[in-house]
Structure formats: C-alpha cells, structure tokens
Chains A and B, each alone.
Chain A
C-alpha cells in the first residue's frame, strides 16, 4: 500500500542536482560528446538500441551519457522515448540474404560461397590489456582488398538442397506485436522472436548456456553468423509503393541443431534463429539457442522441464526493463506495508511469550 507523503521535494531536487554533477565528473577532464559515444562505444550503443528496441544510434548514445554508462538505465530511457513516437507503419521484412556483410562466418562449412569473412572481431585477440590505448590510440587503418560483387547466400540453403534441414517456408502472415498487445501465453514463434530480440543479453546468454550444459540439450552449431547492413523498405501510403527509407545494421545467427526425428518430423537438422539490431553477436547466438529450445513442442520433442523450454518463464523474465522496474520498486517507500508487518510480528511474539508463561505456570 502506498500513501502520499510530502516533504521529499527539496531532497529529491538536490539529489538530482548532485546526480548531474556526478555525471559530469571532474570538470578538468573534457566532457564526452554524443558523437564520441556513438563512434567509440558503438557496441554499447548497439546493445541499447537492441534492447531498447529502437534503432537510432544518436539517441542511444545520448541515453548512455545521461545514464552515466548504466546500460539498463539507458535502455529504460529509450523505451520511454519510444512510446512517445507515432507509428508510421511497418517495414517490408528485411532481406538478410542481401546483407552487405562486414562479417560472415560458418562453423559448419569451411569452404562456402562467399567465404569466411572475419570482420572487425574480438575473436583471436589475446585478451591482453592494450596499454597503447591508454596513452594514445593513434589512427589505425584497416587493410583492404578488392571485394567480390554479389550477394552472399545463406549457408542453410546448401543443406536445404539435400532436404537435410527443415525449411523456413515463405509466409506472409502479419506478425503479432507485443508493443501493441500485451504478451500472452501461448506465444507463437513470431512473438517469441520479437521478445527475444529485445530481451536482456545477460539473461538470454544464461539461458542459452544452460541448454549447452544439458538443460534441454539440442547441440547447436553456428551454421552461420553474419553482421552487416540491410536496407529497410517501407510502403509509403502517399506514393502507393515501397521505398528504402534507411539502412540498419544487424547481426543474424542461424544455428543448425541435431535432431533425431520425432513422432511428427523425420530425422533432419533443425534450426534456431537470432536477429538483433547492431553488432550484437553474443546476443544473436544466445537468441538462436533459446529460440530452438522453445520450439520443442512444434518439433514434437519431449519437455524435459528445462527452464529454456518454458516459454512463460523465459518470456516473462527476459525483459530487463520489466524486471528492473519490479525489482527496484521495493526500495521505494513501503512504510505502511511494513508497519502492518511490524504490528503482526509484535502480536505473534506477544502471543508466543504469553503461551510460554502459561506453560511455565502449569
């Protein structure tokens, strides 16, 4: 129970003024600009866009600055801003097959059309602190080589030709939207993918890891991981046709999973899918593993009671803004709630000690 109490206004105003001062830090040190954050902390910006579920690098950089680098607070700011925007429409589904790839690797096929392109990756670095960056990063320059023109085909297409992997048949059913309708169970795969794409990276990673360790084991290979930009096309009502209204950078992960077959499906490889805004590789792989685990029912697999198979558990706890909202509210005044608990405990103690006295007397 909450009651209105007055008297905190001055303290709150002063707390916020101090917050602003602490955010700025030592004024002898140059202030961070939004463009510096956008350009030099781009993976933090990408995470805020992905989990804030709004693609706008400048806004995400502003949110990171305002939140003093607390990414969940920054995501909160983006989610709040998002609700103020009028929705102009929905895009055509993006064509990731036509992605301009910065990175494209497959853990299942060594030699594949388009090749293994590493891109700007942390993989194969030694994870040793680079003290050159503490002094002066300089102006590094990446080598170049002539690129082969043409789209890079998806790896699963090769397996599809042999019928060894389940297909993802083309379909144009309009998807449900959890920003318009409350998330309710049972959630179909389209709704699950929307929820997972904006889910907390840490939570999704933990669940994905649990499937690898044996809780709903489905042995995933990264069939393909690609990072790059795709154009976004939208139907413009005034024009009556679709035009490209911008580019977004995306990370896509497609897993290939062992599958012995079930009552309804033949033995073949199955697929998990991850698609996330920005360069968000860990999140995209995690999403694909969790997506695959949640598909147990449609594939006729057994429910072994693993957390990652429980759509209700996964989807109702994956949103870090809902989670932190409920978690952090318990620090706000609960004086009346607590007063009643206090009264109750005092009463129970009185009764218990009275009973003891009576027992001793007998």
Chain B
C-alpha cells in the first residue's frame, strides 16, 4: 500500500490498466479527500507534537467476488485512490502474483531509483575536509 501511496500521479492506474482489465466493483466508501495531522517529536526523539496536516485521499471498495480493497494515499487523487484500492483488493485474488510482478515490483524499482538518484546528488555535495599545512616556520 505504501508503494501505491507514494507513486506519482496516474502511475498506479497506468500499470494496472497495462496488466489487466479492471474488474467490476462496488464502493464501500467512494473516494474522499481529507487530511491527516502529521506529528513530529521534540528533539527528534522526545514527546510528540502536531506539526501540520497533509492532504489524503481514501476509499474502500469490494469486488464481485467479495474481496475488499482499501486505499489511503497522500494528496488529492481520487483516480489514484481508486486504482490503489483495486490493486489492494486484487492482491487477495488469483491475480496477486501477476500484479506483484506488473504493478508493485515496477513501482518499488522506480521509487528505489528516484531515491538513489537524489541520494547520489546529495553525496556529490559532501564536504571532504583536508588540512593545509600552516606556514609557521
């Protein structure tokens, strides 16, 4: 679920539609936009405090065959929430293996690559100190 929550806009839907045609479903909760209060800790490790909110879209649906799918994803993305909930439900069916290979693993690879690319730019700005000999003689 976290892979789908962090995927760029439209990505889960694109991967899902490339993998299979969408099954029929009924909404248990149609996509709804709301917020989550993000918390931090004093000094990074101490008591929690409320930092501020973030937008979140959530939905829940059920397939004809009874599997229930949920989605809670960052941002205001109703289409993405629908696709994520569908994948969540389908992961409980026979399609699980196919979806793992065609949706979840590609998402994991993409997110790993994005993170690594950023980390590599940060690493290039790491300071390498060296000490100059002081001309005291």
Give me the interface of A with B, judged by CB distance under 8 Å. Answer: 49-50, 53-56, 58-59, 82, 85-94, 96-97, 100-103, 110-111, 115-120, 142-148, 154, 156, 168-179, 189-191, 193-194, 197-198, 231-232, 234, 236, 238-239, 243-248, 250, 252, 254, 271, 273, 275, 277
Q: Specify which chain B residues have a CB less than 8 angstroms from the CB of A56 in the assembled complex.
A: 54-55, 75-76
Q: Specify which chain A residues have a CB less than 8 angstroms from the CB of B43 in the assembled complex.
A: 156, 168, 254, 271, 273
Q: Specify which chain B residues have a CB less than 8 angstroms from the CB of A90 in the assembled complex.
A: 36-39, 50
Q: Specify which chain B residues have a CB less than 8 angstroms from the CB of A147 in the assembled complex.
A: 116, 119-120, 122-123
19 additional A-B pairs beyond A102-B122, A243-B5, A246-B56, beta carbons within 8 Å, are A54-B53, A58-B76, A85-B34, A88-B56, A94-B38, A96-B44, A100-B118, A117-B127, A145-B126, A146-B123, A147-B122, A169-B46, A171-B46, A175-B39, A179-B53, A190-B48, A193-B49, A246-B6, A254-B44
Q: Specify which chain A residues have a CB less than 8 angstroms from the CB of B132 in the assembled complex.
A: none
Given contacts A116-B126, A245-B36, contact A97 B2 (CB under 8 A): no
Q: Specify which chain B residues have a CB less than 8 angstroms from the CB of A82 in the assembled complex.
A: 35, 53
Given contacts A102-B118, A172-B48, contact A91 B6 (CB under 8 A): no
- Cα A240 to Cα B114 in complex, Å, equals 30
User: Distance (Å) between the CB of B133 and the closest chain A CB?
Assistant: 18
16 pairs, A vs B, C-beta closer than 8 Å: A49-B52, A56-B75, A58-B76, A85-B33, A85-B34, A91-B38, A96-B41, A115-B126, A117-B127, A168-B43, A169-B45, A176-B50, A231-B6, A245-B36, A252-B44, A275-B40
A245 touches B74 (CB 8 A): yes
Nearest chain B residue, comparing its CB with the CB of A56: B55
Q: Specify which chain B residues have a CB less than 8 angstroms from the CB of A146 in the assembled complex.
A: 120, 123
A170 touches B123 (CB 8 A): no
User: Distance (Å) between the CB of B110 and the closest chain A CB?
Assistant: 14
Residue B21, interface by CB 8 Å: no
Q: Specify which chain B residues have a CB less than 8 angstroms from the CB of A89 in the assembled complex.
A: 36-37
Which size class do B's interface residues fall under? Answer: 35 or more
- Cα A193 to Cα B116 in complex, Å, equals 32
A245 touches B48 (CB 8 A): no
Among candidates B38, B48, B124, B126, residue contacting A142 with C-beta atoms closer than 8 Å = B124
- Cα A194 to Cα B51 in complex, Å, equals 5
Given contacts A82-B53, A197-B52, A245-B2, contact A117 B123 (CB under 8 A): yes
Among candidates B39, B45, B52, B127, residue contacting A53 with C-beta atoms closer than 8 Å = B52
Closest A-B pairs by Cβ, 10 of them: A246-B74, A168-B43, A168-B46, A244-B2, A144-B120, A171-B47, A147-B119, A55-B54, A190-B49, A53-B52
Among candidates A177, A190, A243, residue contacting B1 with C-beta atoms closer than 8 Å = A243
- Cα A103 to Cα B118 in complex, Å, equals 11
Nearest chain A residue, comparing its CB with the CB of B88: A239
Given contacts A111-B129, A197-B52, contact A87 B35 (CB under 8 A): yes
Q: Specify which chain B residues have a CB less than 8 angstroms from the CB of A49 in the assembled complex.
A: 52
B123 touches A86 (CB 8 A): no
Q: Specify which chain A residues have a CB less than 8 angstroms from the CB of B49 in the assembled complex.
A: 175, 189-191, 193-194
- Cα A198 to Cα B40 in complex, Å, equals 13
Binary interface encoding of chain B residues 93-135 relative to chain A, with 1 for a CB under 8 A from any of its CBs, else 0? 0000000000000000000000111111111111101000000
- CB neighbors of A among B1-29 (8 A): 1-2, 5-6
Q: Specify which chain B residues have a CB less than 8 angstroms from the CB of A231 in the assembled complex.
A: 2, 6
Nearest chain A residue, comparing its CB with the CB of B48: A93
A190 touches B6 (CB 8 A): no
Q: Specify which chain B residues have a CB less than 8 angstroms from the CB of A96 in the assembled complex.
A: 40-41, 44
Nearest chain A residue, comparing its CB with the CB of B1: A243
Q: Specify which chain A residues have a CB less than 8 angstroms from the CB of B2 in the assembled complex.
A: 231, 243-245
Q: Specify which chain B residues have a CB less than 8 angstroms from the CB of A190 in the assembled complex.
A: 42, 47-50
Nearest chain B residue, comparing its CB with the CB of A232: B38
Nearest chain B residue, comparing its CB with the CB of A246: B74
Among candidates A102, A119, A198, residue contacting B52 with C-beta atoms closer than 8 Å = A198
Q: Specify which chain A residues have a CB less than 8 angstroms from the CB of B74 in the assembled complex.
A: 232, 245-247
B39 touches A245 (CB 8 A): no
A54 touches B44 (CB 8 A): no
Q: Specify which chain A residues have a CB less than 8 angstroms from the CB of B33 in the assembled complex.
A: 85
- Cα A294 to Cα B55 in complex, Å, equals 31
Nearest chain A residue, comparing its CB with the CB of B128: A115
Nearest chain A residue, comparing its CB with the CB of B52: A53
Q: Specify which chain B residues have a CB less than 8 angstroms from the CB of A117 in the assembled complex.
A: 122-123, 125-127
